Amino acid sequence: MMDFTFEQSPWELFAEKLKWGDRVSAARFLTLLEGESEDAVEEAFQTLEDLHTTLDIADLPKPEPSGEAGKRLALEARLVREGKLLEGFGSDDPLGMYLAELASMPVCGDPVLLALELTESGNPQMLQERLVNLSLSRVVQLAGEYTGCGVLLMDLIQEGSMGLWQGILRYEAGQDFEIERDWWIRQSMARAVTLQARENGVGSKMRQALEDYRTADKRLLTELGRNPTLEEIALELHMTPEGAYVIQDMLRSARTVQQAKAAQEPQEETEDDSRHVEDTAYFQMRQRITELLSALSEQEARVLTLRYGLEGGTPMDPAQTGAKLGMTPAEVINMEAEALSKLRS
């Protein structure tokens, strides 16, 4: 019988390293799943749930919808900010009707105590329904955290309500009910926002951002003769340092995935394979050099970088290094000796 082996996808390689309770950025999630089928995306969401891995939407780009949908999203975000959600919609508005109905429902019971009863009950259905009714207002409250992310508030509430039900069904004795409940509600809403971002092509945009980051990094490395700072790369890409950090972090993960993927490939090397190995080794070397130089002062690091051509340039003698840094050759030699001594220790 012939054995078939199937190459793992970037997401599968990444998911193998996930641990219970981890946090994964939604932008990275979409980038790793770019080009995958809907079934593969559903399986990835299931993996997050099974590992209780939080999907963090903080680094997703904020959408700018136009037309009536854009006006509605802007209105909902404003009403949430002002705390006027209940009175902000007309009596014929579906969301307004739902909020008014919810506000008129009597609130009876403590959800924490009710959850404890649930774990001890032989007939939990009635208690589950009571827990749902007690927690629907919490769904609306948490939905406010996700306004402005491209999903209508009514849709967020519906998704959050389904998450609430999942949280109640999976609740086990000994867990903190309120923490578990809120996690499932938020996770379901984050899923809705992430799927909307996927529909808007965020995954492909993030891949392009990764390529732009690498290009800027290499260009600045050549121009400056040293590793560019995050702020310098951000300035080059016309983005905030926070945005550049997200891409930098994703790039590190992408390299890890590439290395793991390369380790599974056959040993026969084509020209493209050789180039990939060289590229991976280059980044590994740079990462190691960066780690070592981070133990030094900025001036000491620059002295060693220029003296030994650590960034790919031609090594310089003490006189050339001194001319570059405004130091005498003797000062360069002394600082080099001190820096090397630090690294040895």
Give the helix/strand (H/E) hosting 331: helix 329-344
Query: Following DSSP, what letter does each residue of 272-288 receive, concatenated?
Result: HHHHHHHHHHHHHHHHH
Q: What is the pLDDT of residues 213-256, one digit of tens each?
A: 778 888 888 887 778 888 888 888 887 777 777 677 766 655 55
Q: How confident is the model at residue 67 (pLDDT cuts 50, 70, 90)?
A: confident
* Strand ranges in the chain using DSSP code E only, listed in sequence order: 23-25, 54-56
Q: What is the pLDDT of residues 18-37, one digit of tens each?
A: 999 999 989 889 888 888 88
User: Structural domains in the chain?
Assistant: 66-173 (no CATH), 295-345 (1.10.10.10)
Q: What is the pLDDT of residues 9-20, one digit of tens each?
A: 888 888 988 999
Compute the distance between CA of residue 241 and CA of residue 231 in angstroms, rounded to an integer.
Answer: 5
Contact 209, 180 (CB under 8 A): no
Q: What residues have CB less than 8 Å from 50, skipping those under 6 apart?
A: none
Q: How confident is the model at residue 4 (pLDDT cuts 50, 70, 90)?
A: very low
Using alpha carbons only, give the angle 67, 199, 20 rounded to the nearest 5 degrees.
130
Residue with tokens 């032989």: 122
Compute the distance between CA of residue 226 and CA of residue 176 in angstroms, rounded to an integer.
Answer: 50
The pLDDT value recorded for residue 340 is: 80
C-alpha distances out from residue 32 to 11, 26, 333, Å = 5, 10, 47
When the pLDDT of each residue in the chain is averaged and rounded to a whole number, the result is: 80
Give yes or no for residue 338 having a pLDDT over 90.
no
| 3-state secondary structure at position 122 | coil
From the number of C-beta atoms within 10 Å of its C-beta (0-12, 13-18, 19+), residue 29 rates as: buried
The pLDDT value recorded for residue 274 is: 47
DSSP 145: G
The dihedral formed by the CA atoms of 305, 310, 314 and 315, expressed in degrees to the nearest 10: 50
Contact 284, 256 (CB under 8 A): no
* Strand ranges in 51-151 using DSSP code E only, listed in sequence order: 54-56
Whole-number percent of the chain with pLDDT over 70: 80
Compute the distance between CA of residue 130 and CA of residue 310 in angstroms, rounded to an integer.
Answer: 66
Q: What is the pLDDT of residues 138-189, one digit of tens each?
A: 999 999 999 988 899 999 999 999 999 999 988 888 889 999 999 999 999 9
The winner for highest mean pLDDT among 87-101, 113-127, 217-231, 249-263 is: 87-101
Compute the distance between CA of residue 207 and CA of residue 185 in angstroms, rounded to an integer.
Answer: 29
How much is the pTM?
A: 0.62
